[in-house]
Chain A
């Protein structure tokens, strides 16, 4: 049974169209220990700050649009259990639209630029397409990336170097594994800064969908050294 608790949330407030500087506002919330961070944010909007800008849609860890930083760690607000003391901020390093909502225009432009559709040598001939069941399963696991940018936000290489980030590497690897794809995915990954990855595996630990962008990067690196055939090892 959930128990009642008092929560203290400090939220970064910033409207770039009017404010010179961001500010932090503190809210006291009466909640329950099984609440998610999103429940706390929604309660603050309902009862204390009607002008709070925040984003969510599915509340079930699927749309990937409610990413925020809680005490410095990027998470999905709808999945992260609340804590008695929280500092809630928008995902870095993205431009802020207002308060907790970031502008994803550049993120989408990158997805577009990476051409993440199977680049087919010959037109799709009608189905079922020849795919090994185990590979289909693996493709689907990679296909469940939420594009939530939690891993990109947490990646130390992204913060310091010219690297698109783990999520994009995962999607490129997804395409590289697709049997119909003929795209130069390894070259794309390298162009997008893959070699800047430190191999710290933080992306895997942060991923709300339990995926491993780090593993995708390791596979690309193996491919660089041993060639394409090594990918099914």
Chain B
């Protein structure tokens, strides 16, 4: 067999991910003097940020009752106390400056006056604080992309990061990427690699994110020796589309559900009823009712569906408030159109019941990082949804948009600094990259076996049924055994029927399988360990929140085996100045 061909490239900072975290890191690293290459797994606009409603939590000073302390407190309360406090504090302190950055890039935040932003409330917040723009995540990604264009940053479309390459001391010195459009391997030697590949919502049968969010970067970091934190927490959005098939799981947005509560904390949210016409949420949260947090609502809806009180299509009914239609149309015309196309005019006008179901939205856990997005592996920086700790056990609606700006920028600055200080020669590791590429070609030659989409569906079903909204010890144990079986007996038989190397979707999916399985196992293992219910993690066998578990679970791999350790939460550093020091890697 001939040697696997790998083309060698060189850069200071290699960034994987074309969403806002990756793009913000690219801008920051470039502005700090680094040469930057950004890898986009699909076309550059295929990313999760673009799908977001773009609601952005920040303390603008326009609501005199609000403060960064209140935002910090809301974040901790929503996270049920296990957030990484310094990260949550940084989010509260820096979100507004990053919102101004976006405005400087050309984003026009919605306004009620020439210098007055329009603000609303989103899930879990206690104050009117959330900014937004009619162009939503599309507008945010578009203004950022043009900033990258202006800087001449090299964007590689259709480049999937397959793995990072480490030197003999374990320092990351480059990344191996598959150029899907050409079907060739490229090794980028780099002084620092930034993982901004987003979450792993594709682990689930029904999910809200883009099809490429298979948690590649999180799995790559885990394999490289990094620690994961809070990986048992997956956020499910309670309100998403039920049909048609392509739209199933896509977020239906909060204004339709929140009704007048979108503007007034005391108002009622839209009622949710099962097929008996009962308002089942009252059993779960008689105080906040349908205005409860995302985790409570998602669980309440899922239990109704599992217990047979859902619609034939697998949802429940939301009774929207037609009063809110004019504001909804003005603020979120894109969603009105989706409702019209997917459901009909009565639903789009908020006059008829809307079928909704929960869907996997956001990977709350991820790679464990310090305030400058460094992890336990030198030369590896992680920002955005791929990182964990900021949001704890549950996330405020509107906080991911600020998270990816705040920590995207920090990741870029740290990466530029690490690249500057790196004196080694990543190019000398080309052979390691080549060896890894050869392994990832194996599925090509197989004639017997199973196609990647079938294995993916199997993993997605296991995750949805047992490591999703409703979990239990026996089912988690069963799932871990099933995953072991997939790893040992199924993965080695995965075959690619497509003979072309160009845009070979089966091959891409084969590479994704290992990533999905790595994260799925980590999620199941830590979910099993956490014997309580907290935030997005619900155990039927441990339905109460246990103060003993106000702690983090840290997952890492040692000699191929997963290790899950309980650790005390990270609270605020008593000397705040230390938070601002970039410093060398820990």
Q: Is the CB of A59 within 8 A of B99?
A: no
CA distance in complex: A58, B247 (Å): 9
CA distance in complex: A101, B504 (Å): 11
Residue of chain A at shortest CB distance from B244: A34
Nearest CB in chain B: distance from A70 CB, A: 15
Q: Tell yes or no: B284 within 8 A of A by CB.
A: no
Of residues 41 through 59 on chain A, the ones whose CB sits less than 8 Å from some CB of chain B are 42, 45-46, 50-59
Nearest CB in chain A: distance from B38 CB, A: 12
Q: Tell yes or no: A124 within 8 A of B by CB.
A: yes
Of residues 213 through 253 on chain B, the ones whose CB sits less than 8 Å from some CB of chain A are 243-247, 250
Residue of chain B at shortest CB distance from A80: B341
Residue of chain B at shortest CB distance from A130: B114
B142-150, B162-170, B425-433, B556-564: which lies at the A interface?
B142-150
CA distance in complex: A180, B143 (Å): 14
Chain A residues, CB < 8 A from B107: 143
Chain A residues, CB < 8 A from B108: 131, 135-137, 139-140, 143, 178
Given known pairs A50-B451, A141-B134, the reply for A128 and B142 (CB within 8 Å) is no
CA distance in complex: A38, B243 (Å): 13
Q: Is the CB of A127 within 8 A of B100?
A: yes
Q: Is the CB of A57 within 8 A of B109?
A: no
Given known pairs A60-B51, A65-B42, A79-B341, the reply for A132 and B103 (CB within 8 Å) is no
Q: Tell yes or no: B506 within 8 A of A by CB.
A: yes
Chain A residues, CB < 8 A from B341: 79
Q: Is the CB of A129 within 8 A of B103?
A: yes
Q: Tell yes or no: B104 within 8 A of A by CB.
A: yes
Given known pairs A2-B243, A115-B150, A143-B143, the reply for A46 and B453 (CB within 8 Å) is yes
B120-128, B492-500, B571-579: which lies at the A interface?
B492-500
Nearest CB in chain A: distance from B371 CB, A: 24
A3-11, A103-111, A188-196, A197-205: which lies at the B interface?
A103-111
Mark B137-157 against chain A: 1 for CB-CB distance below 8 A, else 0. 111001101110110100101
Mark A210-232 against chain B: 1 for CB-CB distance below 8 A, else 0. 10000000000000000000000
Residue of chain A at shortest CB distance from B148: A112
Residue of chain B at shortest CB distance from A146: B138
Of residues 8 through 26 on chain A, the ones whose CB sits less than 8 Å from some CB of chain B are 15, 17-18
Q: Is the CB of B113 within 8 A of A133?
A: yes
Interface centre among A97, A104, A129, A131 (most CB of B within 10 A): A129
Interface centre among B142, B334, B453 (most CB of A within 10 A): B142
Q: Is the CB of B210 within 8 A of A63?
A: yes
Nearest CB in chain A: distance from B578 CB, A: 27
Chain A residues, CB < 8 A from B115: 127-130
Given known pairs A34-B244, A79-B341, A140-B134, the reply for A57 and B334 (CB within 8 Å) is no
Mark A114-149 against chain B: 1 for CB-CB distance below 8 A, else 0. 011110000010111111110111011101111100
Residue of chain A at shortest CB distance from B113: A133
Q: Is the CB of A59 within 8 A of B250?
A: yes
Chain A residues, CB < 8 A from B498: 50-51
Given known pairs A61-B338, A104-B43, the reply for A78 and B502 (CB within 8 Å) is no
Q: Is the CB of B134 within 8 A of A144?
A: yes
Q: Is the CB of B105 within 8 A of A60?
A: no
Q: How many residues of A contact B (CB 8 A)?
A: 70
Q: Which of A42, A51, A140, A147 lies in contact with B499, CB distance below 8 A? A: A51
Chain B residues, CB < 8 A from A46: 453
Given known pairs A98-B502, A124-B103, A143-B108, the reply for A59 and B134 (CB within 8 Å) is no
Chain B residues, CB < 8 A from A105: 157
Chain A residues, CB < 8 A from B142: 143, 145, 147
Chain B residues, CB < 8 A from A146: 45, 138
Given known pairs A130-B115, A137-B134, the reply for A63 and B47 (CB within 8 Å) is yes
Q: Is the CB of B45 within 8 A of A147?
A: yes
Q: Is the CB of B45 within 8 A of A63?
A: yes
Q: Is the CB of A144 within 8 A of B106?
A: no
Chain B residues, CB < 8 A from A34: 243-244
Q: Is the CB of B50 within 8 A of A58?
A: yes
CA distance in complex: A35, B248 (Å): 11
Q: Is the CB of A104 within 8 A of B137?
A: no
Chain B residues, CB < 8 A from A139: 108
CA distance in complex: A210, B499 (Å): 40
Residue of chain B at shortest CB distance from A19: B500
Chain B residues, CB < 8 A from A42: 246
Q: Tell yes or no: A87 within 8 A of B by CB.
A: no
Given known pairs A51-B499, A98-B500, the reply for A58 and B210 (CB within 8 Å) is yes
Q: Tell yes or no: B117 within 8 A of A by CB.
A: yes
CA distance in complex: A15, B502 (Å): 8
Q: Which of A51, A63, A117, A128 lies in contact with B103, CB distance below 8 A? A: A128
CA distance in complex: A117, B117 (Å): 21
Q: Is the CB of A133 within 8 A of B51?
A: no
Q: Is the CB of B244 within 8 A of A39?
A: yes
Mark B475-507 against chain A: 1 for CB-CB distance below 8 A, else 0. 000000000000000000000111110111110
Chain B residues, CB < 8 A from A133: 110-114, 118
Q: Which of B111, B137, B212, B330 lies in contact with A136, CB distance below 8 A? A: B111
Q: Tell yes or no: B46 within 8 A of A by CB.
A: yes
Q: Is the CB of B105 within 8 A of A117?
A: yes
Interface centre among B136, B499, B500 (most CB of A within 10 A): B500
Residue of chain A at shortest CB distance from B499: A51
Residue of chain A at shortest CB distance from B152: A112
Q: Is the CB of A57 within 8 A of B338?
A: no
Given known pairs A117-B146, A136-B108, A147-B45, the reply for A60 and B338 (CB within 8 Å) is yes
Residue of chain B at shortest CB distance from A141: B134
Q: Tell yes or no: B135 within 8 A of A by CB.
A: yes
Chain B residues, CB < 8 A from A132: 111, 114
Q: Is the CB of B138 within 8 A of A144?
A: yes
Nearest CB in chain A: distance from B216 CB, A: 14
Chain B residues, CB < 8 A from A58: 46, 50-51, 210
Q: Which of A57, A124, A147 lies in contact with B211, CB distance below 8 A? A: A57
Nearest CB in chain B: distance from A224 CB, A: 24
CA distance in complex: A43, B545 (Å): 43
Residue of chain A at shortest CB distance from B452: A50
Q: Which of B109, B244, B505 lies in contact with A128, CB distance below 8 A? A: B109
Closest 7 CB pairs of A and B: A57-B46, A140-B134, A143-B135, A124-B104, A51-B498, A143-B139, A53-B503
Which B residues lie at the A interface, using CB under 8 A? Answer: 42-47, 50-51, 60, 99-100, 103-118, 133-139, 142-143, 145-147, 149-150, 152, 155, 157, 181, 210-212, 243-247, 250, 330, 333-334, 337-338, 341, 451, 453, 496-500, 502-506
Q: Give 6 pairs: A residue, B residue, CB < 8 Å, sorted on A.
A: A36-B244, A57-B212, A116-B106, A124-B103, A127-B104, A128-B60
Extra contacts besides A15-B500, A50-B505, A129-B103 (13): CB < 8 Å: A51-B500, A53-B504, A53-B505, A59-B211, A59-B250, A105-B157, A116-B146, A117-B105, A133-B112, A140-B110, A141-B134, A144-B334, A147-B142
